[in-house]
């Protein structure tokens, strides 16, 4: 569980409510996530596939075509950037992103703080995510107001619901979705199942990995 005291090796994740507003904006396409990576490249070296959509023309122009292949079960034009035999993104050169200003939208919105926010372990997706898991275990949010803890509990409740109902199979997707729908779990009220279904279907547009309906 995350706390509000920093210890040796801990990383300051920021005020929870402030972070929640910022990541929400990034997920809505209002800008890139501002993650204090401080040289960390765990997400770039974890055997991750990166989805790139057809409208990301600038990104596509900066990635060699042989590195891209059609995204499984997605409409034509959606492609995936794979990884090399070490599990590293091929655009990672000398431990730095060689196309940072032109990186995919998936990378722009990626923020590993979603994992401690939702109490989701990224290593659930396999041992290749251990570097990300090690990083996320060090994040510590702060809670200067009661509303910060209330919002955090809502995100945790949403993530627990998604895990228990097996709506999404991927840990990253589950953590992100918990952030997106957390307001439906505010306080002690039980969310309306039909409202939940609509909100989840509206956001989970990628049928990869598999999921089931509520």
3-state SS string for 188-210: CCCCCHHHHHHHHHHHCCCCCCC
Residue 4 has pLDDT above 50, yes or no: no
HEC string of 163-176 equals HHHCCECCHHHHHH
Q: Dihedral through CA 102, CA 207, CA 45, CA 93, nearest 10?
A: -30
Question: Which has the minimum average pLDDT: 7-16, 52-61, 106-115, 135-144?
Answer: 7-16
Predicted local confidence at residue 198, as pLDDT? 84
**Cβ pair 150, 186 in contact under 8 A:** yes
Strands 96-97 and 79-81: unpaired
pLDDT confidence band for 102 (50 / 70 / 90):
very high
Residues 110 and 105: their CA atoms lie apart, in Å, by 8
Residues 181 and 70: their CA atoms lie apart, in Å, by 29
Contact residues for 214 (Cβ-Cβ < 8 A; gap 6+): 165, 167, 193, 196, 197, 200
Residue 167 has pLDDT above 90, yes or no: no
Closest to 108 measured CA to CA, from 40, 171, 38, 59 = 59
Question: Which has the minimum average pLDDT: 14-18, 29-33, 49-53, 87-91?
Answer: 29-33
Output the six-digit token pair for 176. 């992100």
Residues 71 and 53: their CA atoms lie apart, in Å, by 9
Predicted local confidence at residue 205, as pLDDT? 56
**Cβ pair 12, 4 in contact under 8 A:** no
**Cβ pair 133, 43 in contact under 8 A:** no
DSSP state at residue 92: E
Give mean pLDDT, residues 167-192: 87
Q: What's the predicted TM-score (pTM) here?
A: 0.85
Give mean pLDDT, residues 86-104: 96
Predicted local confidence at residue 168, as pLDDT? 79
For residues 88 and 199, which has the higher predicted lDDT (pLDDT)?
A: 88
């Amino acid at each position: 569980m995350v706390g509000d005291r920093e210890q040796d090796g801990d990383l300051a994740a920021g005020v929870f409510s402030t972070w929640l507003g910022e990541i929400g904006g990034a997920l809505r396409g209002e800008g890139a996530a501002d993650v204090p990576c401080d040289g960390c490249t765990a997400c770039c070296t974890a055997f991750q596939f990166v989805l790139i959509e057809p409208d990301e023309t600038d990104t596509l122009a900066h990635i060699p075509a042989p590195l891209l292949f059609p995204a499984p079960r997605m409409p034509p034009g959606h492609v995936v950037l794979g990884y090399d035999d070490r599990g590293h993104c091929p655009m990672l050169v000398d431990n730095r992103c060689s196309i940072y200003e032109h990186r995919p939208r998936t990378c722009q919105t990626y923020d590993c703080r979603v994992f401690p926010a939702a109490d989701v372990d990224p290593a659930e997706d396999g041992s290749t995510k251990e570097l990300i898991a090690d990083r996320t275990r060090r994040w510590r949010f702060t809670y200067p107001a009661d509303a910060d803890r209330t919002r955090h509990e809502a995100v945790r409740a949403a993530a627990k619901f998604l895990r228990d109902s097996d709506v999404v199979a991927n840990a990253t997707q589950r953590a992100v979705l918990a952030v997106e729908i957390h307001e439906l779990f505010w306080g002690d009220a039980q969310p309306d199942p039909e409202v939940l279904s609509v909100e989840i279907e509206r956001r989970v547009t990628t049928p990869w990995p598999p999921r089931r309906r509520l």
